[in-house]
Structure 1
């Protein structure tokens, strides 16, 4: 028995080494992150089926209680069986991928084991399928509480699945005496080795995933820190003074060898190596920067020739160049330089991409502030551009809290926050926008709110497909939904529900936001939208201003209609004739021109 256990340890070592290599591949990590997708399932079934098939080939043949030390087993004598680690691959596949993956791996591994033959071929095939399904169910249970099952859980499941296989061999293999002799010989070694192998395999995967998550958390923290420190300067726009301060901050916090910021023609700031010839205001941008400005795409270079610097002795031999955009136009570049291509790692690339997105948003913030001073319709534009400071602080606090627990969700929320601010800025310069953009803005707002209060709000959005491109005033739906979330519900209410509808009604477009909140007294309903109504929870200015905008653009027939009653919820709706909406579009184009 000890001799068999030592031989099986050698086989487990092969699988563990393969698992270590596998855990470092991008394809496998992506499949682990999305095991419910078709691609994720296919990848996991393929990988763990191969593991189990390799385990069959490297198994140890047992012939009449005699151990045959073969390197590879391609065919088994009808009176023989094999001791292997097949169940470990099936079990881990089920734990990581769920019942479908477990069943798929078990079926393929079982069929392959059946093809090899031997006295226990059929019972081993059956046990493989059952083990895959059971491990998949257990894995689904664990995934609801953890990202992946713990190594201890994997070891226990591995022991259980191998014990199940021994039981099935006893029940199905004939004659029973031979089956009992075989199980007595291989049972304990296979149970212990498969359990230990599962523990080691999951420990390796968990360790690598945690390391990757920590790296992403640190990266996110760096991005937020840089964004916080550079915000005051970028809001001044792209000029030499602001860019010099920004470049110094990025150079200090990223560890790059040099950082440059440019407009469309010349270098505005350069900090780090190469300052002798990358001279602000005097040096023109490099050829690589010109390509980025022309295409609007991120580009990287791993040699001085690709950078296209005209200085022969330039010490910078690698770079990533990112476009800085404002209102959909590339207005400059951010360049992060390295003396060696080795410094341009994937982590640095992802960091640079995140910075470019945030910086573009910050530049738009600065441009919006400058333009707002020149707008004749200052009151409406200020209303459209305003960002609730409490909402901003709450969103940042939520994202900060998630940095260490759910990095992927943090990245998605940062993108939604960027969409939210970008929509605010663009809406501040337009009287009408497509409904699709308004919905993007609304979804970004709801993503951030639902991240703060998971499961608190039930939002139903019903938009008629043909209405995606109609033009509506910016923020009308977002303001109504925000108003409902902030004021409609008492703290003790169990179910918070908001419905949003945009439907065509003959020659009009009908829009409605309805909640199931505490409702509003009748004497207040008649005044809402017609004048500001100061109260403990707000001023009523949002509904009043929204009503004024609708009436100003489309006439009195587009005024807000509010129906409510105590404990009966509130419904806010308005209806805009399509003919007048088109006239409003033409008016908006004239104003923008």
Structure 2
């Protein structure tokens, strides 16, 4: 029995070596990793069926409990049997590929075993098919319960199915006495050794799978780290500065000897080896880059001839060129060069392919972000422009009346209007202006109104010191003051009072415009600033425009609040975020130039 066990361990060693060599083949690893389709199942059936056949050929022939042949078997005496590792290959096939692979591999190994002969031929053929079906079924059941197929599980399953084979031999092999004598000799060695073989087989496969997963995890981590480091520069678009920064990061974090970036027409950056003739702003010097720009597909070169560099003495002998795309259109390339082709291995190639997708996504998102900012900028300017006619028409109407009654006042009013419009034209060129400029515009407007209606309004300013240079959107104060003058005091007795308070609180600039006017009905307050309204006395356009501009410029962090009480007055609060230094909140940084 010990001699038989030693010989079987030798046979298991052959199978394990074959399994190890097979596991080094990329296509085999891919088949094992995937949810097998029918084509892959056929491949697995053939592979593990072949394992069963090899086990039959390398089996140990037994005659009445005695070893008669431990060499290569091509046939067995009708009264003899064999001890082998046939079940091991079939069970592993069932574990990896499921019942279909198990039964397929079992049929191949079983038919081949039957062709060799011996008094256990039928029993052994049936047993290996049963082993294949059972291994596939129980393994899938194990996976459905979210449990892993470990080497220990494979060993236990294999030993159990090997024991089942012994039972089948006792049940079907004739005569029974010889079957029983055979099982006494081969039972324990085959159960133990096949279990050991299955443990080693699965351990090898799982070790390789773990190594691949670890390598992929490292690649993914490295790719995301590179993407994170390069993102700020992709946001700047493809230019010589951003591309140089990206190329330097890539050179530092990969094994490449040189990294370059291009747009559709020229080299934007090249760092590393051969920078002398791969010059930024120069024409594209490699045919490989032109090919990628034309096809939009990743290209790999493993020789100088494939790179097509126009300089014959260029030391770069391998390269991978990645297309950078926006909406499926190739807008540029990123290239990794290597002096030695051996450095451009599968790891570097897979990393580069992953980066190509990440970079294209970053590039496309950056372009989308830029377009969104341009659109928001245009929308804000359009809203801002709507306020100008609103005040201009009122002023011109007043001037036309004064021209008939008081030319001197009309002249003064024109000068005030000229100064006001000059300030507004300057402010209209920017999204933000200093607070003191906005206050000057408001005072010009009030001067115009008080010239028209002397002693009708009182204006009070309360402005905290050191806030004069805070940046705010132009036309934030004047429309609110204008609304108060035009609508708040239409039916009150006495002097209309407007109070403007500007101060900082809780890292916010707060602007409060309040009046002692007639107030606003509560049902209208809920709509003001959210939409325009059709009304005999106004549309709420000014407040709506201010609200929209604040929302667009400050990304929802500014707010406009209205409180009012009928016959007591109205107060409008505007709150704008400040940073820790008391200046404009950084969220608007980069929108304006």
The alpha carbon displacement at 1:354 in A equals 1.4
Match of 1:151? 151
Deviations 1:519-568 (A, max 9, x none): xxxxxxxx9xx989xxxxxxxxxxxxxxxxxxxxxxxxxxxxxxxxxxxx
The alpha carbon displacement at 1:310 in A equals 1.9
Deviations 1:103-159 (A, max 9, x none): 111122111111111000011011111111111112102323568510011111111
Match of 2:259? 259
- Indicate conservation of the 8 Å contact 1:265/1:285, yes or no: no
Counterparts of 2:320 and 2:274, CA distance in 1: 16
Q: Write out aligned runs for 1:515-554 (5 A).
A: none
Q: Secondary structure at 1:265's aligned position in 2? A: coil
Deviations 1:271-312 (A, max 9, x none): 111112212123534111011111111111111121111223
Counterparts of 1:37 and 1:55, CA distance in 2: 27
Match of 1:27? 27
Tell me which moved more, 267-276 or 84-93: 267-276
Match of 2:129? 129
Deviations 1:445-483 (A, max 9, x none): xxxxxxxxxxxxxxxxxxxxxxxxxxxxxxxxxxxxxxx
Deviations 1:382-418 (A, max 9, x none): xxxxxxxxxxxxxxxxxxxxxxxxxxxxxxxxxxxxx
Counterparts of 1:349 and 1:306, CA distance in 2: 16
Distance change >3 Å, CA 289–CA 145, structure 1 → 2:
farther
The alpha carbon displacement at 1:377 in A equals 9.7
Distance change >3 Å, CA 269–CA 323, structure 1 → 2:
same
Match of 1:18? 18
Counterparts of 2:151 and 2:201, CA distance in 1: 8
Distance change >3 Å, CA 269–CA 46, structure 1 → 2:
same
The alpha carbon displacement at 1:236 in A equals 0.6
- Indicate conservation of the 8 Å contact 1:262/1:285, yes or no: no
Distance change >3 Å, CA 142–CA 254, structure 1 → 2:
farther
Counterparts of 2:312 and 2:99, CA distance in 1: 61
Counterparts of 2:66 and 2:106, CA distance in 1: 28
Q: Does 1:369 align with 2:364?
A: no
Normalised TM-score (structure 2): 0.62
Deviations 1:157-185 (A, max 9, x none): 11111111111111111111111111111
Show structure 2 runs of 5+ residues with no match. 381-526, 533-593
Distance change >3 Å, CA 356–CA 68, structure 1 → 2:
same
- Indicate conservation of the 8 Å contact 1:95/1:139, yes or no: yes
Q: Secondary structure at 1:375's aligned position in 2? A: helix
Tell me which moved more, 353-362 or 26-35: 26-35
Q: Write out aligned runs for 1:21-420 (5 A).
A: 21-144=21-144, 149-375=149-375
The alpha carbon displacement at 1:65 in A equals 2.2
Counterparts of 1:178 and 1:379, CA distance in 2: 95
The alpha carbon displacement at 1:247 in A equals 0.5
Counterparts of 1:317 and 1:194, CA distance in 2: 50
Counterparts of 2:21 and 2:328, CA distance in 1: 42
Q: Secondary structure at 2:71's aligned position in 1? A: coil
Counterparts of 2:311 and 2:145, CA distance in 1: 57
Counterparts of 2:375 and 2:324, CA distance in 1: 25
Counterparts of 1:295 and 1:100, CA distance in 2: 42
Q: Secondary structure at 1:158's aligned position in 2? A: helix
Match of 2:504? none
Distance change >3 Å, CA 192–CA 212, structure 1 → 2:
same
Counterparts of 2:255 and 2:47, CA distance in 1: 38
Deviations 1:88-114 (A, max 9, x none): 011111111111211111122111111
Counterparts of 2:300 and 2:61, CA distance in 1: 54
Deviations 1:56-113 (A, max 9, x none): 1111111222212342111111101011000101111111111121111112211111
- Indicate conservation of the 8 Å contact 2:316/2:337, yes or no: yes
Tell me which moved more, 63-72 or 267-276: 63-72
Counterparts of 1:146 and 1:347, CA distance in 2: 31
Q: Secondary structure at 2:375's aligned position in 1? A: coil
- Indicate conservation of the 8 Å contact 1:226/1:250, yes or no: yes
- Indicate conservation of the 8 Å contact 1:59/1:84, yes or no: yes
Match of 2:485? none
Show structure 1 runs of 5+ residues with no match. 381-526, 533-593
Counterparts of 1:531 and 1:151, CA distance in 2: 68
The alpha carbon displacement at 1:222 in A equals 0.8
The alpha carbon displacement at 1:379 in A equals 6.2
Distance change >3 Å, CA 198–CA 378, structure 1 → 2:
farther
- Indicate conservation of the 8 Å contact 1:76/1:117, yes or no: yes
Match of 2:9? 9
Q: Secondary structure at 2:316's aligned position in 1? A: coil
Q: Secondary structure at 1:165's aligned position in 2? A: helix
- Indicate conservation of the 8 Å contact 1:97/1:139, yes or no: no
RMSD, aligned CA:
2.1
- Indicate conservation of the 8 Å contact 2:90/2:102, yes or no: yes
- Indicate conservation of the 8 Å contact 2:244/2:270, yes or no: yes
Q: Secondary structure at 1:320's aligned position in 2? A: strand
- Indicate conservation of the 8 Å contact 1:31/1:39, yes or no: no
Counterparts of 2:145 and 2:531, CA distance in 1: 50
- Indicate conservation of the 8 Å contact 2:265/2:283, yes or no: no
Distance change >3 Å, CA 136–CA 353, structure 1 → 2:
same
Counterparts of 1:309 and 1:178, CA distance in 2: 77
The higher radius of gyration belongs to 2
Counterparts of 2:155 and 2:112, CA distance in 1: 24
Counterparts of 1:379 and 1:153, CA distance in 2: 66
